[in-house]
Structure 1
Amino acid sequence: MIKSTYILAFGLLFNPFIKPEAALARTTFTGGKTTPADTLAKAPANWFNLDPQENQVMGVSTEKAYEYLKNRPSKTVVVAVIDSGIDIAHEDLKDKIWRNEKEIPGNGQDDDKNGYVDDIHGWNFIGGKDGRNVEHDTQELTRLYVQLRDKFEGPGGAKLQKKRKEKENFALYQKIKADYEKELKETQDQYSQFQQLQGAYENATAILKNQLNKEDFTLEDLQQLKSTNQQVNQAKAIMLFMAENNFTKETFTEGEDYFMNKLKYNLNLNYNPRDIVGDDYSNVKEKHYGNNDVTGAFAEHGTHVAGIIGANRTNNLGIKGIADNVRIMVVRAVPNGDERDKDVANAIYYAVDNGAQVINMSFGKEYSPQKEAVDAAVKYAADKGVVLVHAAGNDGKNIDQEKNYPSKVLANGKAVNNWIEVGASSFSGSGKLVGNFSNYGKKSVDVFAPGVDINSTIPKQGYKENSGTSMAAPVTSGVSALLLSYFPNLKAEQVHDIILQSAYKVQDLKVNKPGAEGGKAEQVTLGELSVTGGVVNAYEAVKLAESLSNK
């Protein structure tokens, strides 16, 4: 599931035991380019490409890497983005989108005989042959609850509950039911609190507009406002709190959408959009379904991810992606809800079979009922020498202890060596280096990469700052593509090893352990949160790749 960090922030903010100032990690004033990173409250522009030493922000040294590689030849690398869809007409992406040269556009035929008709820029596994597309879907928790409820509470269910061979499945059902009911209640409670907060915001706004005699007022106006009226002062305090935590009118619009989508679709026991796709959902071996609409109806997330990887570095527009000689293959498989294992597996097969060398996967969930199908696809990618990069997730939890899928560890207990699991870091060189929302794990998370306040492309020629491990993964995919572009003989496992071994280590720095719910966060080293104890660094990775190539 694509989980935005403001969702976690809402969860923290509405917890009655949490101090409001702990709800969000970021504030809004601007720091200069050479200001020490531990004093910055706002990320400098393009910060994820900058250098920790030269620019004093914890970027991945992209520009420094290209200066080192100047005048060297490069090879085009194909990166598949399995996501919600991509706006392939975006000004900063249109020249970087993969094109299937073996397919003739619009003729309604499968020219290259790969099983997918008119797959010019990729494929959409959550669309139907009639052109319709899945935008929303349920969570896997919801789907499992419905499946097991019908089994154990339907006709004959009472007898099944008592059967010894069903003991394990019934125990799973009881856990799933408890988890579902807990999440539903938490969501309903949070929505109620959200509505109260929204009401307070709207009421305070009206009071202050009247007091200041202004339709639009600034933070400076609030700070200068002096009044003996208790109602006005209370409204001022509310608005200052909102400003401190980046809550705006747009934030409340997003929040309303989030809660309504979660209640109307994600946790709705009666919602099932799979008839749009029209496949035999029970057949995980079925591959040839969907359509060629790679943008779909929910493309902001995928477009943002694509820009980080490969936004045009030479057109003087918008942003600069990490990889300069790259083509983005679009594979749509992630709805607003939990992705389905069958679609994830087929998306990986499609990407590998059509020439992707790197696959970015900025999604995840807590349950994987068809894990064997996904594992087979992951193993297939490993055997074909494709680098897989996966976002660790935005729940602020230890995924050494709590499950998060898909995973580099297969059902047989063995881990593939082409998989890089990525947590999110910030621009700060202080204790706030790790995003408070980021999942972590000394065994499960390989490395951290920039994932806080990342400016990138969004649909309709837009740009926006987003935060999440969903942003950290494409930074790492971009560095992987950069390595393969300039050192094309590298194997997938070598790219994996180079990125981990060259990670920028922050010696002896204590960072806030993610997920702190109020009070002072526990201080730990980065080595306690990941395999490497470091942040991805393109410059160091390039130097290490060069040394290996010269041997």
Structure 2
Amino acid sequence: MNKFFSFAIVLILICSITADDVFTSQSGNKYSTNRLIVKLQPQKEMPKSELIKNVHHLFLQTYVVYTSDLHALEDVLQKSENVNSIERDFHSERKDLARNVTTIRESEVASPFNDPRVGSLWSFADAGENGISVNKVYQEKSTKPQSEIIVAVVDTGVDVNHEDLRNVVWNNPGEIAGNGIDDDQNGYIDDINGINTLVRDKDGKATVDVSDTHSHGTHVSGTIAAQQNNSTGVAGIASKVKIMAIRTVPNASDEKDVDVVEAFMYAAKNGAKIINCSFGKAHNEGGNVVAEAIDFIGKEYGVLVVAAAGNSSQNIDIRPTYPASFTSENLLVVASTTSRGAMSYFSNYGKKGVDIAAPGSSIFSTVPRNRYSSMSGTSMASPTVAGVAAEVLANNPSLDPVALKSILMNSVTKVSAFSSKVVSGGRIDLKKALIAAKAQQK
């Protein structure tokens, strides 16, 4: 969402099909010149045209069509009875998404973890101390995961070799590393830890280098799943979880709709039950493909999408931001709170459009090359909720995404000042959510 990254690292991506020119619409929004999103009528096929270079299926009747002449192809497709709708592949505006922080509050509460820097995780404190009760849950041994949960981090990539993440990174069980073969026939060659939708081959297929050249995605991943009790670094919120790394957000955060949808579809088809989205844009340009994809993966694959509310200090009920402002029953939107219990000054809010609040200011976590750093943003609040969701789901694997969302929202620690800011009126609480989920399963 707005103001993702606190610093920029220049990355030059050399690739064939995605190194396209960018046009700017009359409204000022940029879009790719070499691909369209095409939704066909039921039971209909893609019209034939010399302007179509490649076609990739996304979901249902929705496809990505590559072309060398976008505007001419638009005219052709608009005249076809086979076509339901056409969307351009709009970019998000370039922006920062998270803020580096130099000061952090050390927790004075005894920790159940042996990770040496876990004292920096103020959010692990009890609900009465403005935290989310992580320490208490593990001290009381009240979490007993039954299933391992895959969480897809759709972001700037992940440092899969980080000392605190390498043992919690998802490995594709159907793929043999480095053999140049699509062993599991899922459409991607050597996708061991995930995919990279930013760099594509000559046919427009996503590649598989998920390295994080920024830090955002690695930081998000650590909040969710940094290995617990390995006498190293910090600890993640979830104890039985794997991180699926999907690089879809450029370092300047100007992600595109096609890349987002492909990331969602890959995650869902390959077993992720939670997707974290610490990104977004202020304009939707009337497109429906991302919203339809969120609905589809919820209904067909049982996926809960957790999204940051954005960092513009605004009411998104009045000034929407996306994907947070899409209305889907399996989309959970998160505002940010501080260690003092207030809503973070930068956080977006909305009595109708933002579901829940979670710690997002001065969050300490992993960053590339075995380092650690503190950042602030709803980008950090979203993975806090994703981590709680993963732990609750691991304890109660039969929960569908709608039921899981309901439990998380109905078990919050109420904060009077949040009653007009978020739907649930409170801050997420791991202990209360586990108790509520257990009660519902009886």
TM over 0.5: yes
What's the counterpart of residue 313 of structure 1?
A: 228
AA partner of residue 352 (structure 2): K
- How far apart, in 2, do the equivalents of 1:536 and 1:545 lie? 14
2:404 matches 1:495: yes
Shift of 1:69: 4.1
Instruction: Specify whether residues 6 and 366 from structure 1 end up closer, same or farther in structure 2 by C-alpha distance, changes over 3 A only.
Output: same
2:351 matches 1:399: no
Shift of 1:73: 4.6
AA partner of residue 3 (structure 1): K
AA partner of residue 402 (structure 1): R
2:332 matches 1:416: no
What's the counterpart of residue 368 of structure 1?
A: 284
Match of 2:155 among 79, 83, 108: 83
Q: Percent identity?
A: 39
Shift of 1:417: 1.3
Q: Larger helix proportion, structure 1 or 2?
A: 1
Shift of 1:418: 1.1
Shift of 1:29: 8.3
Shift of 1:68: 4.2
Instruction: Specify whether residues 71 and 290 from structure 1 end up closer, same or farther in structure 2 by C-alpha distance, changes over 3 A only.
Output: closer
Matches within 5 A, 1:148-547: 289-298=205-214, 300-335=215-250, 336-369=252-285, 371-383=287-299, 384-407=301-324, 409=326, 415-429=327-341, 433-506=342-415, 508=416, 525-547=417-439
Shift of 1:373: 1.5
Shift of 1:28: 4.7
TM-score in terms of structure 2 length: 0.73
- How far apart, in 2, do the equivalents of 1:73 and 1:363 lie? 29
AA partner of residue 225 (structure 2): G
Deviations 1:124-165 (A, max 9, x none): 000133xxxxxxxxxxxxxxxxxxxxxxxxxxxxxxxxxxxx
Query: Given that residues 2 and 311 in structure 2 are in contact (C-alpha distance below 8 angstroms), is that contact kept between their aligned partners in structure 1?
Result: no
Query: Given that residues 4 and 467 in structure 1 are in contact (C-alpha distance below 8 angstroms), is that contact kept between their aligned partners in structure 2?
Result: no
- How far apart, in 2, do the equivalents of 1:389 and 1:65 lie? 22
AA partner of residue 406 (structure 2): D
What's the counterpart of residue 146 of structure 2?
A: 74
Shift of 1:65: 2.1
Unaligned runs of 5+ in 2: 8-98, 110-117
Unaligned runs of 5+ in 1: 8-23, 35-42, 130-277, 280-287, 410-414, 509-524
Q: Larger strand proportion, structure 1 or 2?
A: 2
Corresponding residue SS for 1:477? helix
TM-score in terms of structure 1 length: 0.59
Cα RMSD for the two superposed structures: 2.3
Instruction: Specify whether residues 110 and 307 from structure 1 end up closer, same or farther in structure 2 by C-alpha distance, changes over 3 A only.
Output: same
Shift of 1:382: 1.3
- How far apart, in 2, do the equivalents of 1:358 and 1:121 lie? 16
- How far apart, in 2, do the equivalents of 1:364 and 1:530 lie? 19
Matches within 5 A, 1:112-151: 112-129=184-201
- How far apart, in 2, do the equivalents of 1:79 and 1:324 lie? 12
What's the counterpart of residue 548 of structure 1?
A: 440
- Total equivalences in the alignment: 341
Corresponding residue SS for 1:82? strand
Deviations 1:414-442 (A, max 9, x none): x321111000001103xxx1100000001
- How far apart, in 2, do the equivalents of 1:489 and 1:33 lie? 36
What's the counterpart of residue 48 of structure 2?
A: none
What's the counterpart of residue 32 of structure 2?
A: none
Instruction: Specify whether residues 25 and 357 from structure 1 end up closer, same or farther in structure 2 by C-alpha distance, changes over 3 A only.
Output: closer
What's the counterpart of residue 142 of structure 1?
A: none
Instruction: Specify whether residues 374 and 4 from structure 1 end up closer, same or farther in structure 2 by C-alpha distance, changes over 3 A only.
Output: closer
What's the counterpart of residue 239 of structure 1?
A: none
Corresponding residue SS for 2:335? strand
- How far apart, in 2, do the equivalents of 1:296 and 1:26 lie? 20
Query: Given that residues 341 and 370 in structure 1 are in contact (C-alpha distance below 8 angstroms), is that contact kept between their aligned partners in structure 2?
Result: no
Query: Given that residues 392 and 439 in structure 1 are in contact (C-alpha distance below 8 angstroms), is that contact kept between their aligned partners in structure 2?
Result: yes
- How far apart, in 2, do the equivalents of 1:68 and 1:373 lie? 44
Q: Larger C-alpha radius of gyration, 1 or 2?
A: 1
Q: Which moved more, 1:78-87 or 1:368-377?
A: 368-377
